Amino acid sequence: MKILRLSEAYPAYISYFVEAHPDLEGPYSKRKAAFDYDSFSWADFYVSPLAKFGYEVQEVTLNADFLQKIWAQENGVPFTADGWESEIAIAQTKAFQPDILWFDSHDANLLKAIKTECGPFRLVVGWSGSAIAKTDAWKEIDLILSCAPETVAELSRMGHQARHLDHAFEPRVLERIGRRESLEDVSFVGQIVLNNQFHLKREKIIRELASRLNMSIYSSAKDSQSKSQFRAKQAAYLGVSLLRKLGTPETALSRLPILKRAASWEGPPQAVDKILQKQMKPAAFGLEMYRILASSRLTLNVHADSSPTHASNMRMFEGTGVGTCLLTDRKQEMSLFQDGEVVTYDSAEDCAEKARWLLDHPKEREEIARRGQQRTLKDHTFAVRSEKLHEILKGFLRG
């Protein structure tokens, strides 16, 4: 059984990786191996564990031009300057001939083209984080997986077939980052996105904590909030608004390279607090992100506003997986970890108080970190998740 997973990486990460590997040359296989080794997001972490259930998995990062264009050249696939992402993706799908297409993107036009030119597939699978993207792609998908139970419930209310699958940690990361000394008191590594009311709570808590704790903030918000970039976002949003007033359909907006991201925003772009921006460090991704987490005495987690009831985001497993004491916002449902494996807080004041106590009590802090890591390595690895994913897929294929 073949699974082809088509996904997209943050454009900021693509640039980050290319800049960090200026000497990376050679064939597609060598470049892809280096890309996967850097351990961004899910990387190739489902490939090996799913093989145990009889699946052959191929991972493709649609917007990684330094990979995709090399693949096309090696396989004699022509592509154009404007349409290379879809042209190469269609060629890769035809070459692999998957039984299951896992489409982890919001590009409805690309999915329709792949289904038309490469299908039929036994199953088309999608993925949603806690926030449900506004896209017509959902109509083309048979099964949507999500890490957030409240999102699964909402997708089901919308008439979709949806199932819950938690995020996970890959133990090989530990070998790749090596042992790390504690260099940071408190770290926060992650996005602060305000355009869709996505991280309003996150920004507020981090802003309050930054004045109370010795905290290092690593975020792409620092890199994306320059005056020129912010004005470009404003112009893109205004352009989309004007085209909508002129009657341009959403499907046409999603085809425009410069405007398609702005077409998903629910309101005009908002800038992260200026004082907070000054305290930020450049974003960290992949293994460098894991190294920062591992060298932190505490790492902070704040769920997106779209996760009001369940603890479910990736940082839960990334932080505990590398053996750091995780300080996370309390949710109604915290069953992923037991008491004494992570530390929860109810407000910025509560968070600061607990952080100071943990920093003053290293023995207790390290014991919590040890228990959290033990839990993650036992119950929250990609090998464990693959068992559940196999059962979900088997149920749908049988039906």
Q: Taking the chain (399 residues) in consecutive chunks of 10 residues, what is each chunk's mean pLDDT?
A: 97 95 96 98 98 98 98 98 96 98 96 96 97 93 97 97 98 94 90 64 88 90 55 60 69 61 55 71 95 97 92 97 97 95 96 97 98 98 98 90
C-alpha separations of 209 from 88, 188, 345, 393 in Å: 45, 11, 12, 43
**Amino acid identity, position 246:** L
Distance CA 373, CA 28 (A): 35
Whether 160 contacts 138, CB under 8 Å? yes
Query: For 38-44, which contacts have Cβ atoms below 8 Å and span 24 or more sequence positions?
Result: 38/285, 38/286, 38/287, 39/170, 39/172, 39/173, 39/176, 39/286, 39/287, 39/290, 40/9, 40/13, 40/285, 40/286, 41/7, 41/9, 41/314, 42/7, 42/382, 43/170
Helix 65-74 with 11-20: angle, nearest 10 deg? 80
Q: In this structure, are strands 2-7 and 325-329 parallel, antiparallel, or unpaired?
A: unpaired
Chain centroid, CA 18 distance in Å: 19
Query: Exposed, middle or buried: residue 399 (CB in 10 Å: 0-12, 13-18, 19+)?
Result: exposed
Contacts of 16 (CB under 8 A, 6+ apart): 283, 285, 286
Distance CA 374, CA 70 (A): 41
Q: Return the HEC string of 13-64.
A: HHHHHHHHCCCCCCCHHHHHHHHHHCCCCCCCCCHHHHHCCCCEEEEEECCC
Query: For 173-179, which contacts have Cβ atoms below 8 Å and span 24 or more sequence positions?
Result: 173/39, 173/287, 173/290, 173/321, 173/322, 174/321, 174/322, 176/37, 176/39, 176/287, 176/290, 177/287, 177/290, 177/291, 177/294, 177/322
Nearest residue to 349 via CA among 212, 173, 169, 203: 212
C-alpha separations of 212 from 60, 185, 186, 341, 353 in Å: 43, 12, 11, 24, 9
Residue given tokens 């699978």 in the structure block: 125
Q: What are phi and psi of 333, to 5 degrees?
A: -115, 110
Structure tokens at 70: 């090399």
Whether 240 contacts 252, CB under 8 Å? no
pLDDT number for residue 341: 98
Could you tell me the pTM of the whole model?
A: 0.88
Distance CA 143, CA 125 (A): 5
Distance CA 203, CA 192 (A): 6
Residue given tokens 């039929």 in the structure block: 120
pLDDT number for residue 127: 98
Q: Domains of the chain by range and CATH?
A: 2-168+381-398 (3.40.50.2000), 172-225+271-379 (3.40.50.2000), 227-264 (no CATH)
Summarised one tens digit per residue, pLDDT across range 40-87 is 999 999 999 999 999 999 999 999 999 999 999 999 999 999 999 999
Distance CA 100, CA 119 (A): 10
Secondary structure of residue 147 in the 3-state scheme: coil
